[in-house]
Amino acid sequence: MKFDIKKFSSRLRELMKEKGLTTYSLGDIIYLSSSAISRYINAKMSPKRTTVEALAKYFNVDSLWLMGINDERSFYSSNEKLENNQDKRPILSDDQISLLLNCIKIQQIQSKLLTGKENFQLNDIEIIIKNYKEIRGGMIII
């Protein structure tokens, strides 16, 4: 079982054509740049596993088929596994959340020093975590 970049690029191009998507529109849907999508469909770059899962979910295809591992195009099925394992996910304490936020802040500072640009807004992440904590009763489930 090995990722086949040629099959992946061909299958991604095929799926995009079926839905009438451009690299820009697909990038907007799964939160990637159009240049990243372009590199995928031209077999210039392999996607991360999370990207493959997002694409498979969006196009409702099996991720193994999308990666060129299986030849049978079937429906996306990872949702069932995720739903069945929700209770087994670890819960983050407030101390762990603070540590995570500090790590993100350090990464943001390093990125700004190296590139002169901010990759994301820290207050956006803090708001997301705060809202998530309220929903989960004070704890974040990862």
Q: Look up the pTM and report it.
A: 0.54
Residues 95 and 125 in one domain: yes
Residue 88's DSSP bridge partners are none
What's the domain range around 119?
Answer: 89-141
Residue count of the chain, please give it.
142
Tell me which of 56 and 126 has the higher pLDDT.
56
How many domains would you assign to the chain?
2
Residues 35 and 94 in one domain: no
Residues 18 and 74 in one domain: yes
- pLDDT of 132 higher than 80: no
Residues 54 and 103 in one domain: no
From 31, 54, 81, the end of a domain falls on 81
CATH value at residue 59 = 1.10.260.40
Tell me which of 108 and 58 has the higher pLDDT.
58
From 53, 81, 109, the end of a domain falls on 81
Distance CA 29, CA 21 (A): 10
Q: What are the distances in angstroms from CA 19 to CA 16, 54, 58? A: 5, 16, 11
> Which pLDDT score, from 0 to 100, does residue 118 have?
63
> Which pLDDT score, from 0 to 100, does residue 44 have?
94
- pLDDT of 39 higher than 50: yes
Residues 73 and 115 in one domain: no
> Which pLDDT score, from 0 to 100, does residue 82 have?
40
Residues 12 and 66 in one domain: yes
Residues 123 and 72 in one domain: no
Residues 99 and 135 in one domain: yes
For every residue of 34-96, DSSP letters joined together read: HHHHHHHHTTSSPPPHHHHHHHHHHHT--HHHHTTS-SS-----HHHHHHHTGGGS-EE-HHH
